[in-house]
Amino acid sequence: MALRGNPFHYGTPVTGAQFAGRTEELRALASRMRDGINVVVASPRRYGKTSLITKAAAELERHGAAVVQVNVLRCRDLPTFAAQLLTHAYHAKHGAWHRFKHGVPEFVRRFRITPGIGFDASGMPRFTFAPTMTAADADAVIADVYALLAELSAKGPAVLVLDEFQAVTDLGEHLPGLLKALADEHPTVSLVVAGSKKHLMERLVTTRDAPLFGMAEHLALDVLPTEVMTSFLVRRSRAGGKELPRPVADLLVALAGPVPNDVQHLAYEVFDVAGPTVTAGDVGLGLRRAVEHEAGLHADRFEALSPGQRRVVAELAVAPTEQPLSAVFVRAVRLANSSSVRKALDVLQTDGLVVVRDGGYRVADPFFAAWLRG
C-alpha cells in the first residue's frame, strides 16, 4: 500500500490535480457562462461533464460570478427542486446574504413564496418547501431565483447550471417551457444544462420541435485525447510515489479507454497492486481486480437481458464488429435474422451497454466486457 494514498479517482466528479486536460472546453464554456450565453453540455455517462462545468463555474466564481448549480436528478419532486435553487442562490457570490447577520430574513423577503428554514451541521441555512406545495408556487420560486440572478448579473456574470437535465420532465412536464420563457426574459443570465441520456436530451433541447431548441449553444463533450490521458497517468502515478513507464500507461489506456472514468478506475486498481514501478503484469492483475470487485453488478446486468441480447453482448465483448447485421454475425449469435439482431442492439444501445465507437459496435464498459470474456 502506498503511503501517499492512491492518486487516482473515479465514480464522482474530479477537481484539482485529478482533473486532466480540457483546456479548450474550459475556455469555451467559461467564456459563454461569462457572456450570458446559454449552453447545453451533452455526452454519454462518465465523460466528465460535471467535473468540467464545476471547474468552469469555480473559475468564474473566483472572478466574482454568481453561480447557482443544481443536480436535477437529486431532486425527488418539484418542491425539492425549488428549495435547492433557493438554497444555492442564497450561497451565490455577490448576493452576499450569507455574510450578514440578518442575511436570511433579508434574502427570504425577496421571494413571493416563503420557504421553511433549517440549518445544516455547519450552521448554514437550508430552505425547504412542503411536498404539498402547488406547481404554481414552485414555478414562482423558480422565476424569482432566475430574476435574482438577472439582478446580480449587473455586478458580474450570473449562471444557472442544471445538471442531469434529462430528468427535468420527471419533476414537471411544463418545466422546459418555463425555463425557455425565463431564459428569453433574462438574456444576461447564462443557463447551462447538462445531460447524458442522448434521446432525452434530444427531445428537450437539440431537435427542431424540442422546447429548448435553438436557445442554447451545443457543447458535445468527447473523451480526452489518448496522449493527454497517458501523460496524466504517468504524472499522477509519480505524484503518488510509483513510476509508471509510458508503454505501460499506453497499455492501460488501450485496455480501459477511452472513457475517462474507466481509465481512472483501472489506474486506481493497477496503482494499488503495483510495487515501486508499475509493470504490464500489474495492468492485467488490476483489470482482474476491477472485474472481481464488481462481479455481482456484471452478473445482474447480464441476467436482466434476454437470451438473444446476452449472446449479442457476449459476442461483441470477444469481437467488436462494424457489421453486426451481416450473415456471419447473425449466425454467430444464433438469432433468426438481422432484424432480430437489430432489435437486440437497439435495447443494448438504449441501456448504454453497447456503443458505436471508432465505427464499430462494442461493449461500452471495458470491465463488463472483460467479465463477459471470462
Ligand X SMILES: Nc1ncnc2c1ncn2[C@@H]1O[C@H](COP(=O)(O)OP(=O)(O)OP(=O)(O)O)[C@@H](O)[C@H]1O
Q: ω into residue 307 within 30 of 0, thus cis?
A: no
Binding positions for ligand X, 172-201, rule CB under 6 A: 196
> What's the min distance (Å) between Cβ of 163 and Mg ion?
6
Tell me the residue number closest to Mg ion, measured at CB.
50
SS3 291: helix
Nearer to ligand X, 10 or 129 (CB): 10
Do the Cβ atoms of 194 and 33 come closer than 8 Å? no
Q: What is the largest CA-CA distance in the chain?
A: 74
Count of helix runs (H) and strand runs (E) in the chain: 17, 9
Which residue stretches of 257-326 are H helix?
A: 260-273, 280-293, 295-303, 307-318
290 contacts ligand X (rule: CB under 6 A): no
CA-derived radius of gyration, the chain: 23
12 binds, among Mg ion, ligand X, none (CB under 5 to 8 A by kind): ligand X
Binding window for ligand X (CB under 6 A); candidates: 15-23, 100-108, 118-126, 205-213: 15-23
10 contacts ligand X (rule: CB under 6 A): yes
> What's the min distance (Å) between Cβ of 201 and Mg ion?
13
> What's the min distance (Å) between Cβ of 347 and ligand X?
20
10 binds, among ligand X, Mg ion, none (CB under 5 to 8 A by kind): ligand X
Residue 211 is placed in which grid cell? 422546447
368 contacts ligand X (rule: CB under 6 A): no
Nearer to Mg ion, 49 or 55 (CB): 49
Binding positions for ligand X, 21-40, rule CB under 6 A: 21-22
Q: Which residues of 213-247 are buried (b: 16+ CB within 10 A; e: fewer)?
A: eeebeebebebbeeebbbebbbebbeebebebeee
Q: What angle do CA 61, 198, 21 make, to 5 degrees?
A: 45
Q: How far apart are CA 201 and CA 2, in angstroms?
A: 42
Binding window for ligand X (CB under 6 A); candidates: 13-21, 86-94, 150-158, 353-361: 13-21
Nearer to Mg ion, 260 or 324 (CB): 260
Tell me the number of residues near ligand X by CB under 6 A: 22
> What's the min distance (Å) between Cβ of 165 and Mg ion?
10
68 binds, among ligand X, Mg ion, none (CB under 5 to 8 A by kind): none
Count of CB atoms within 10 A of residue 200's CB?
Answer: 16
Do the Cβ atoms of 228 and 197 come closer than 8 Å? no
Nearer to Mg ion, 50 or 80 (CB): 50
> What's the min distance (Å) between Cβ of 47 and ligand X?
5
Q: How far apart are CA 358 and CA 5, in angstroms?
A: 35
Tell me the residue number closest to ligand X, measured at CB.
48
Site string for ligand X, 42-61 (x = CB under 6 A): -x-xxxxxxx----------
Tell me the number of residues near Mg ion by CB under 5 A: 2
Site string for ligand X, 250-289 (x = CB under 6 A): ----------xx--x-------------------------
**Among positions 50, 84, 166, 237, the unique one binding Mg ion when judged by CB under 5 A:** 50
- Could you give phi then psi for residue 9, rounded to 5 degrees? -145, 140
Nearer to ligand X, 46 or 186 (CB): 46
For residue 40, what are the contacts with CB-CB under 8 A and spacing of at least 6? 165, 192, 193, 194, 195, 201, 205, 206, 212, 216, 217, 218, 219
- Residue numbers of the site for Mg ion (CB under 5 A)? 49-50
Q: Which residues would be at the binding site for ligand X (CB under 6 A)?
A: 9-14, 19-22, 43, 45-51, 196, 260-261, 264
